[in-house]
Amino acid sequence: MNSGKIKYIFILAAFFFISKNIYAQNELAKQYEYAVSLYNSEKYFDAITEAKRLAFFDTLRAFAYPANELIAECYKQGGKYPDAIFYYKKAERYAKNKDEIYKTKLGVIKTDILRKATGQAIKLIDELKCDTTLNAKELSYWRGWAYIFNDEWDAAAECFDSIDHNSPLKLLCQKVEKDKYSVLFAKVVSVFIPGAGQFYTGNYLSGIMSLGWNFLWGYISVNSIIENRVFDAAMTANFLWLRFYLGNIQNAEKFAEMKNLEITNNALIFLQNNFNGEKP
């Protein structure tokens, strides 16, 4: 076989190989676009299936990063947080540059925020802040969200204030903290005046009943002592008065915690439905 034929065969083989790869890459690109369209349509399970199929056939790992990052996003949207973190970290292994690595780490941070793993989210944020080339304000922004989900509204307000003194998130956090009830105050005031803690939290009927029962059993106990009915006084004080007195303190604490939970839940619902900025 002369050199001309060998050269011709080599060129033909190379052309065939390149054409095959181009065709395969085009098909993989279409597959990825289809998976993204399913994600945008909120069909997260179907998007995961298509993205995993893409990863299986992508022998050259050309789409390894975007496919795994898309799977992670789908799992996060579906509330499967451990799975989301697994695929974010898998995507990071295939990242081609610093921006892609940063994006996957932000994905992990947001997922940790949603699953209330505040300590892990803050730790990763602190690690990223050591890199002065990264956006410090963006990291402070997500730190603020971590504190919100951990019910630390004062700390969250400080984070948003460091970004913008007039930040709507800062103002909301300050309002929530101001509206919340002091659980300690509710308990302490109930020690001195039974029912006062319930009045403080707006549970007036419970406060009146608590005050009335404590007054009644206290009066009976004292009256029994005056009439030298020591046994009756001891029984009334230990089994009735003390029970209602301690129950009054516990109720005050419970009502304050319930009110605070209602306030924070309303704030989170407002953020979910009405806040137009970036959310975890």
Express each pLDDT in 93-150 by its tens digit. Answer: 999 999 999 999 999 999 999 999 999 999 999 999 888 788 889 999 999 999 999 9
Q: Are residues 12 and 105 in the same domain?
A: yes
The chain-wide mean pLDDT, for the chain, equals 82
Specify the amino acid at residue 134.
L
Predicted local confidence at residue 216, as pLDDT? 57
What is the C-alpha separation between 35 and 136, in angstroms, rounded?
33
Of 80, 115, 150, which residue constitutes the final position of a domain? 115
Q: Are residues 28 and 102 in the same domain?
A: yes
The number of distinct structural domains making up the chain is 3
Is residue 276 in some structural domain?
Answer: no
Q: Are residues 187 and 173 in the same domain?
A: no
Q: What is the mean pLDDT of residues 230-234?
A: 48
Predicted local confidence at residue 199, as pLDDT? 84
Radius of gyration of the chain (CA): 31
If phi over 0 gives left and psi between -120 and 50 gives alpha, with beta otherwise, what is residue 97?
beta
Is residue 207 in some structural domain?
Answer: yes
Of 84, 134, 133, whose CA–CA distance to 109 is shortest?
Answer: 84
- Give the pLDDT band (50/70/90) at residue 215: low
Predicted local confidence at residue 22, as pLDDT? 46
User: What pLDDT digit, counting tens, does each position of 145-167 carry?
Assistant: 999 999 999 999 999 999 999 99
Of 78, 95, 115, which residue constitutes the final position of a domain? 115
- Give the pLDDT band (50/70/90) at residue 259: very high
Q: What are phi and psi of 39, to 5 degrees?
A: -65, -45
Of 106, 37, 96, 42, whose CA–CA distance to 74 is shortest?
Answer: 42
What is the C-alpha end-to-end distance of the chain, expressed in Å?
Answer: 66
Of 142, 159, 179, which residue constitutes the final position of a domain? 179
Is residue 279 in some structural domain?
Answer: no
User: Could you give the percent of the chain with pLDDT greater than 70?
Assistant: 78
| Token pair recorded at residue 129 | 């802040």
Q: Are residues 187 and 242 in the same domain?
A: yes
- Give the pLDDT band (50/70/90) at residue 173: very high
- Residue 14's domain spans which residues? 1-115
Whether the predicted pLDDT of 90 surpasses 60: yes
What is the C-alpha separation between 102 and 105, in angstroms, rounded?
5
Q: Are residues 191 and 162 in the same domain?
A: no
Q: Are residues 198 and 150 in the same domain?
A: no
CA dihedral 166, 168, 172, 175 (to 10 degrees): 30
pTM (two decimals) = 0.81
Q: Are residues 143 and 188 in the same domain?
A: no
Q: Are residues 44 and 104 in the same domain?
A: yes
Whether the predicted pLDDT of 4 surpasses 70: no
Is residue 62 in some structural domain?
Answer: yes
Q: How many CA atoms lie within 13 A of 247 on its CB side?
A: 14
Is residue 277 in some structural domain?
Answer: no
Specify the amino acid at residue 244.
F
